[in-house]
Amino acid sequence: MEERRNHSQATDGLQMPDFINHVPEARAFCESVLRDASKFQLFPGEKFAEIGMGVISTTGTDSQGESLSVEALEKMCTQIATEGLWGGAEHDPLIQVTGRIIAARIFYHPESDTHFLATVFGNYDPSKLPRFRDLGITIPDVCEDDVGGLIEEDRPQVKLIYNSHEIPSDLIVDAVKEAPSVLDREVGESLRKAADPLATIHLYVKLGFLLLNPFSKKFLEQMGKRLADECVDFWKWVATSLWKRVTTLRKSRLLVVFRTEYKGCDIEFVLDTTDQGVVSQALPVLHIGAQSAVKLVDALEHLKPDKLVYEFVPGESTWKPLHAATRGAGVIAERPVLVDFRRYKGLSIGGMKHTRK
């Protein structure tokens, strides 16, 4: 089983019984955290616009016919206690981190024979979020001919993750059959619990591979033609075989997210389009965006970044940083989205459930 970080989301999600109000110990735990919320500050001066309580997951079977084990809830609880758990809205990576889970504990509801994860969460005021320049962070320039890091040539460089409730499995299986060898044949399935999930494909790319520009003379000199050809074939596969298949679903929105990690920071490059022309613009310059992201993480290192998101701007044919979540200064957002949490029915969980052949 492959592990990925979980995240919590405000959504019109799968409904759960009001466990907290029916288990006195859970209610008492949440109220004690609410009374002493200042003791749970992540960084000096952290302020929440609102604080509340909710259940983000249970061992009960949901409307997607799935359930989590007590062990899975325990892992989530441990992650919240040791690493924290950022929150978002609608499982949409283009919306900045909206807050975080402050504290969590597992409780048992005997009438339904269900364990549940009770949480206290805090949401930030998007109007008060700083931009990168407000913190003295300059968006770095990059050299287009940078080769990037060394890669392990004989191993898969990319792993595809999707959600079968959003995208049919046979579509993904057929696309993977046509993929070049740099794509791992073991496909992962993501876990997003929402009533109206956003169709998203994640491609987890090793950083060294993502930084490569196979068309540069410098690349050919250092890495050789075979690796250059494999790199080119992979991006052609994304733009043709994979993209053409998923666009047949006629979704109003389709996200392909290229993910990598650098110095413990999860970096996402989000392509939000069904336009083949935009895809053709975005992929050839993705390595430039990756080089920018590496330098930006270096510049943010003193703030302990956990998450950094880039978006593609078609009119400028470039990738630009959109927002970040840090342990030292909270959320940084270039274009914060105002989220009205009153319109959502509850919280839902996201993560990676398992891998399969």
The model's pLDDT over 315-350, given as tens digits with 9 standing for 90+, comes to: 899 999 999 999 999 999 999 998 876 665 555 555
Q: Where are the domains of the chain?
A: 7-128+340-356, 158-333
pLDDT confidence of residue 270: 97
Give tens-digit pLDDT for 275-290. Answer: 889 999 999 999 999 9
pLDDT confidence of residue 127: 94
Residue 140 CA to residue 270 CA, distance in Å, equals 19
Q: For residue 193, how far is the Cα from the chain centroid?
A: 14
Residue 283 CA to residue 317 CA, distance in Å, equals 10
pLDDT confidence of residue 356: 37
Where on the phi/psi map is residue 186: left (φ > 0), alpha (ψ -120 to 50), or beta? beta
What is the signed CA dihedral for 112, 1, 163, 294, rounded to 10 degrees?
Answer: 130
Question: Which among 104, 136, 201 is positioned nearest to 162, based on CA atoms?
Answer: 201
Q: Hey, CA dihedral for 7, 10, 15, 16, is it positive or negative?
A: positive
pLDDT confidence of residue 109: 93
Q: Which portions of the chain are predicted below pLDDT 50?
A: 1-5, 10-16, 353-357
